[in-house]
């Protein structure tokens, strides 16, 4: 066994769906066993290593893809046991409803923010990706519970629901709160 193998951390595979300008990619991240998914996606990493990636419209799976961080809009963990702590969620928090404006549509869901911290302050202090829970992604103009009809164009799609999704704030045009919540 060489020195590098002896000191390499034990890895686990975290399967995910990733929304990019190409559409939804499916693949996996190889993460050190004791590292969280959000820590793996920490700021400063410009290339995210993915394996066994399925690209929309392609018949072959890519063994490896160096994915540009800036190309990632959303990450949906697909394993029920994936533990994801929200940044800033250490302490007493409250779930705040937000709407995130993305090129693919509006993501509406709950953002955990420390009590007495405004969403705008949370966003200003945010360094990396953050978690939105109980979320729904809809096309613009569609209701959160709506589904696409047969006459809808190919670019529009049905509402997609997420228990947990990770948002790259750099891919969002903006994030808002419903009126009257005092951001």
The pLDDT value recorded for residue 62 is 98
Biggest CA-to-CA distance, the chain: 62
Would you say 61 and 34 are in contact if contact means Cβ atoms under 8 Å apart? no
Q: How many C-beta neighbours within 10 Å does residue 175 have? A: 22
Predicted structure pTM score: 0.85
pLDDT in tens, the chain (183 residues): 566 667 788 999 999 999 999 999 999 999 999 888 988 998 888 999 999 999 999 999 999 999 999 999 999 999 987 778 765 556 788 999 999 999 999 999 999 998 888 999 999 988 889 999 999 999 998 876 554 433 333 344 579 999 999 999 999 999 999 876 555
The pLDDT value recorded for residue 148 is 41
The pLDDT value recorded for residue 77 is 96
Strand, helix or coil at 70? Answer: helix
Interatomic CA distance for residues 157 and 55, integer angstroms: 18
Distance in angstroms between the alpha carbons of the first and the last residue of the chain = 55
The pLDDT value recorded for residue 84 is 81
For tokens 């949370």, what's the residue? Answer: 122
The pLDDT value recorded for residue 155 is 42
The pLDDT value recorded for residue 27 is 98
The pLDDT value recorded for residue 152 is 38
The pLDDT value recorded for residue 85 is 72
């Amino acid at each position: 066994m060489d020195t590098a193998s002896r000191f390499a951390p034990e890895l686990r595979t975290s399967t995910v769906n990733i929304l990019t300008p190409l559409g939804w990619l499916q693949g996996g991240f190889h993460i050190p066993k004791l590292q969280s998914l959000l820590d793996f996606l920490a700021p400063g990493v410009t290339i995210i290593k993915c394996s066994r990636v399925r690209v929309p419209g392609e018949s072959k799976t890519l063994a490896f893809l160096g994915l540009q961080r800036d190309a990632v809009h959303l990450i949906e963990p697909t394993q029920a046991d994936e533990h994801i702590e929200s940044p800033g969620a250490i302490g007493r928090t409250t779930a705040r409803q937000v709407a995130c404006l993305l090129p693919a549509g509006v993501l509406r869901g709950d953002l955990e923010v420390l009590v007495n911290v405004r969403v705008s302050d949370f966003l200003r202090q945010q360094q990396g990706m953050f978690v939105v829970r109980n979320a729904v992604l809809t096309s613009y103009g569609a209701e959160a519970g709506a589904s696409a009809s047969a006459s809808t164009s190919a670019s529009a799609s049905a509402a997609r629901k997420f228990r947990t999704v990770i948002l790259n704030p750099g891919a969002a045009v903006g994030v808002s709160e419903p009126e009257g919540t005092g951001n």
